[in-house]
């Protein structure tokens, strides 16, 4: 056939329909839906765990903030909380231990270098 100066081939154009068994197609669709629901369930479970861990972190930070507020109020009244004293004495002890270990290492290094 010649239509508008072009030669037209007889038959249908475009994609030919695939000859797929309808039962197999339906089963694939059901399987895909099952997998989708499983992925959705896992995603929601992950998000719930994420939210609960963030909530726990927020509670811990609030408790810490409240502790610091109590410390500040006590220091405003002229009292030094025992926790702060312990921190300060612990830092002083830690510094003393660090300096003593550095000194011991220096002595060992000198002893090793002087012995041939």
* 3-class SS string, the chain: CEECCEECCCCCCCCCCCCCCHHHHHHHHHHHHHHHHHHHHHHHHHHHHHHHHHHHHHHHHHHHHHHHHHHHHHHHCCCCCHHHHHHHHHHHHHHHHHHHHHHHHHHHHHHHHHCC
User: pLDDT tens for residues 63-112?
Assistant: 999 999 999 999 999 888 888 888 888 877 666 666 666 655 655 555 55
The pLDDT mean for the chain works out to 80
């Amino acid at each position: 056939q010649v239509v508008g100066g072009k030669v037209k081939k007889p038959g249908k154009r475009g994609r030919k329909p695939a000859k797929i068994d309808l039962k197999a197609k339906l089963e694939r669709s059901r399987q895909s839906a099952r997998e989708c629901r499983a992925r959705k369930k896992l995603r929601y479970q992950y998000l719930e765990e994420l939210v609960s861990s963030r909530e726990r972190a927020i509670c811990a930070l609030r408790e810490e903030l409240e502790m610091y507020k109590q410390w500040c109020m006590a220091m405003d009244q002229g009292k030094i909380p025992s926790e702060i004293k312990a921190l300060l004495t612990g830092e002083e002890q830690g510094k003393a231990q660090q300096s003593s270990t550095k000194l011991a290492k220096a002595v060992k290094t000198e002893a090793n270098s002087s012995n041939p």
